[in-house]
Amino acid sequence: MSLRSTLAAAVVVVMTLGTASAGQRTSADVPRGDQTEAQLTRNIQRQVLEYPHYTVYDSVKMRINGGAVTLLGKVTMPYKREELEKRIANVPGVAKVDNQITVLPASKSDDELRVGIAEAIYRHPSFDRYAGLPNPPVHVIVERGRVTLEGYVDTLADRLAAMSIARSFGSFQVTDELITPGDKSKSEK
């Protein structure tokens, strides 16, 4: 490297450092808690989805108001409720967690129903592309023989297929809370 190119590189580095120190904030200067609501939402979602005990039989939603996070949904075991709250409380930017997640009642018939429906959905040819995902998008929530399908599917045909499969199991009720592209979220309707 010639002396001229070395000097030019040094000038670029000095100018870059000088600009950052002249009042402009870089990502390294931003405090960990100083983030947008969209970033906070993604960080919380990541904590839920990376939780090793989160399954297609659980559903966790959230509402965010500043740094206050309200957790909603249903999980199959009490420890999941507690551990998810701890995970979310440790996310930078979260000041308070209001845990309103409910624990589904223990029931052998509900367990058999949720496992049967989930296996049938993910074995169906229409759902091959979803089955191998680390967090499959269709969640089967069963409470006292009532089934709710939650999550996301790519097409209306997938949505109808999932509902048809769930109804074939003879549950008391099947509720469709699946979202397809172009749908407004259920809270916006």
Task: At 119, list the tokens.
Answer: 């296996």
Residue 21 has pLDDT above 90, yes or no: no
Largest CA distance in the chain: 81
Write the CA distances from 12 to 7, 16, 17, 39, 134, integer angstroms: 9, 6, 9, 31, 44
Structural class in CATH, domain 37-103: alpha beta
Crossing angle of helices 37-49 and 78-89, in 10° steps, is: 140
* Radius of gyration from C-alpha coordinates of the chain: 23
The per-residue pLDDT for 8 is: 35
Residue 29 has pLDDT above 90, yes or no: no
Q: Mean pLDDT, to the nearest integer, of 123-133? A: 91
What's the CATH fold of domain 108-188?
Answer: Histidine-containing Protein; Chain: A; (3.30.1340)
Q: Are strands 96-99 and 102-103 parallel, antiparallel or unpaired?
A: unpaired
- Hey, do 37-103 and 108-188 end up sharing a CATH topology, with the first three levels equal? yes
Percentages helix, strand, coil for the chain, rounded to the nearest 5? 45, 20, 35
Residue 65 pLDDT level (bands cut at 50, 70, 90) = very high
Q: Which residues, 6+ apart, have CB-to-CB distance to 59 below 8 Å? A: 73, 74, 75, 139, 141, 148, 150, 151
pLDDT tens for each residue of 92-106: 999 999 999 999 999
Task: At 137, list the tokens.
Answer: 């998008």
Size (the chain), residues = 189
Domain ranges of the chain: 37-103, 108-188
The per-residue pLDDT for 171 is: 86
Write the CA distances from 31 to 26, 36, 93, 143, 156, integer angstroms: 10, 12, 10, 43, 43
The per-residue pLDDT for 46 is: 95
- What is the 3 state secondary structure string of 66-81? CCEEEEEEEECCHHHH
Given CA atoms 68, 60, 171, 121 in this order, what sign does their dihedral have?
Answer: positive
